[in-house]
Amino acid sequence: MPRLLRNTLISVRDLAAAAGPFLAIALLLLVGAYHLLDPAPPKRVVLATGPEQSDYAEFGKRYAAALKRYGIEVALRPTQGSSENRRLLRDAAQTVDLGFVRGGSSDATRAADDEESGVPLVSLGSLYLEPVWLFYRSDAVARLNHAATLTQLAGLRGWRVNVGARGSGVTGLFGKLLQANGMERDQFEASRMTQTPAVVALLAGEIDALVFAAAPESLMVQMLLQTPGVQLFEFAQAPAYERRLPFLDAVVLPRGVADLARDLPGHDLPLVAATATLAAREGTHPALLQLFVQAAHDIHGGTGWLAQSGQYPSPQNTELPLAKEAERYYRNGTPLLQRYLPFWLANLIDRMWVVLVSIIAVLIPLSRVVPPLYAFRIRSRVFRWYRQLREIEDAMRTKTIPPAALLDDLDKLEAKAQHVAVPLSYADELYSLRTHIQLVRQRLSSPDQDPVNKHAP
């Protein structure tokens, strides 16, 4: 191996040995901070959606596709709807992390009990409006109410009405509407079918009306709006509902929005709508919440039948407290680092920058030890031979060892010094050692002369 390369490698080795403890401390602090902060989100998350072909199920697929780009698997768990999603999220024994929840879909007393005993929930914001759709048969209103249209919810007395499947949340929501009108559920014949069988039963005349909540763009809504003999209940008192029930908004379904060519609906329809939100367990990883909020902006931020572009998602109208990550997104938008760096790197820096600054503040004083320690290791490679040289010189002075033996020891010492390798910046130390060896050799070769004191008076 060339001598220059060998010297360089030795210098690197000594530098690594001197800086090793410092680097070990830095690495230990970083590993400890990483495990304590847990900046990387889990690779799998469970999202509670809703029945097959519902808007919750369709939106769940979009969220799964959005987070797949970041290497995160979103497992979709079909449910009956909002109430079941809320129950699963609050149940610590269930492996559900997020779910779609509709405003006003739970019983107030039960929700208060769950709040005390279950897992706390947070909201990622309002996603879109879900109108309350009450479709009924035209012949039913003529037969039972002797009128052309149904104008009051009180007119449902004696009807056969499907109020939604158990766990859908529609039952609780519709029950509050009935209560506001002074009605009880026993005043009509209620059924609890899921949405698709209920629509089939309505068209077959087995029931007189059905109620459900869904996004206006739902295929079931669009189909029923265009079905002859089926009418949509108009909430003419929508502003009054909005003021009496804070989880509801008064909205208007624009004329012709379902079919412009056929002018369906033929006039603006007043409706009441609850707000669909994305709820999460309070302990869900912050990076996951951030990704879901960003995905919500892409999925729900466009123009809809009832919403303008950019209106949703929104931090308004959420029954649950807003998550800190969601609040941060609504205030500042996408984090600055994520606009220019890959998500994993931007998230790592974002989660650990405070700790990194603290670690650097601790390590800077410690780093001052490295240069002196490195210099000591290099110089000790030369200085350790001075002890043997001093022993030879002392033996020469006391004449306890014959000069020939001392010359032999000095030759061995010089041979060893020839193989000492140091960086060029410390070469003067090595040449000084060789010079001193030659000085002692001269004294041994001329014992009657003392080079040090030959000029003394």
Contacts of 112 (CB under 8 A, 6+ apart): none
CA angle 308–340–360, rounded 5-degree value:
125
The listed range with the strongest mean pLDDT (197-211, 348-362, 425-439) is 197-211
pLDDT value at position 230?
94
Asked if residue 22 is part of any domain, the answer here is no
Asked if residue 304 is part of any domain, the answer here is yes
Q: How many domains does the chain have?
A: 2
Q: Residue 266 is encoded by which pair of tokens?
A: 């033929």
For residues 393 and 174, which has the higher predicted lDDT (pLDDT)? Answer: 174
- pTM for the model: 0.70
166 with 286, same domain: the answer is yes
DSSP type of residue 338: G
Asked if residue 276 is part of any domain, the answer here is yes
pLDDT value at position 209?
95
100 with 150, same domain: the answer is yes
Q: Last residue of a domain, which of 334, 357, 390?
A: 334
Asked if residue 314 is part of any domain, the answer here is yes
pLDDT value at position 33?
65
166 with 231, same domain: the answer is yes
DSSP-assigned letters across all residues of 360-406: HHHHHHHHTTHHHHHHHHHHHHHHHHHHHHHHHHHHHHHT-S-HHHH
pLDDT value at position 250?
94
282 with 389, same domain: the answer is no
| Maximum C-alpha span of the chain | 143
Asked if residue 161 is part of any domain, the answer here is yes
Average pLDDT over residues 151-162: 92
86 with 210, same domain: the answer is yes
Asked if residue 93 is part of any domain, the answer here is yes
220 with 312, same domain: the answer is yes
Asked if residue 24 is part of any domain, the answer here is no
Per-residue burial over 221-243, b = 16 or more CB atoms within 10 Å of its CB, e = otherwise: bbebbeeeebbbbbbebbeebbe
For residues 101 and 7, which has the higher predicted lDDT (pLDDT)? Answer: 101
Q: Last residue of a domain, which of 289, 318, 334?
A: 334
Asked if residue 342 is part of any domain, the answer here is no
pLDDT value at position 208?
95
User: What is the rounded distance in angstroms from the CA atom of residue 294 to the CA atom of residue 334?
Assistant: 7
301 with 394, same domain: the answer is no
pLDDT value at position 108?
43
Q: Last residue of a domain, which of 288, 309, 334?
A: 334
For residues 409 and 132, which has the higher predicted lDDT (pLDDT)? Answer: 132
User: What is the rounded distance in angstroms from the CA atom of residue 335 to the CA atom of residue 313?
Assistant: 17
Contacts of 351 (CB under 8 A, 6+ apart): 37, 39, 286, 287
Label the pairing between strands 209-213 and 121-137: antiparallel
What's the pLDDT tens digit per position in 291-303? 999 999 999 998 8
392 with 321, same domain: the answer is no
Label the pairing between strands 269-281 and 230-232: unpaired
Q: What is the CATH number of the domain that holds 52?
A: 3.40.190.10
Contacts of 433 (CB under 8 A, 6+ apart): 382, 385, 386, 389, 417, 420
What's the pLDDT tens digit per position in 370-411? 777 777 777 777 788 888 888 888 888 888 888 888 888 888
428 with 320, same domain: the answer is no
321 with 411, same domain: the answer is no
Per the structure, the complete domain to which residue 416 belongs is given by: 370-445
298 with 406, same domain: the answer is no
User: What is the rounded distance in angstroms from the CA atom of residue 329 to the CA atom of residue 346?
Assistant: 15
143 with 48, same domain: the answer is yes
Q: What value does the CA radius of gyration of the chain take, rounded to a whole number of Å?
A: 41
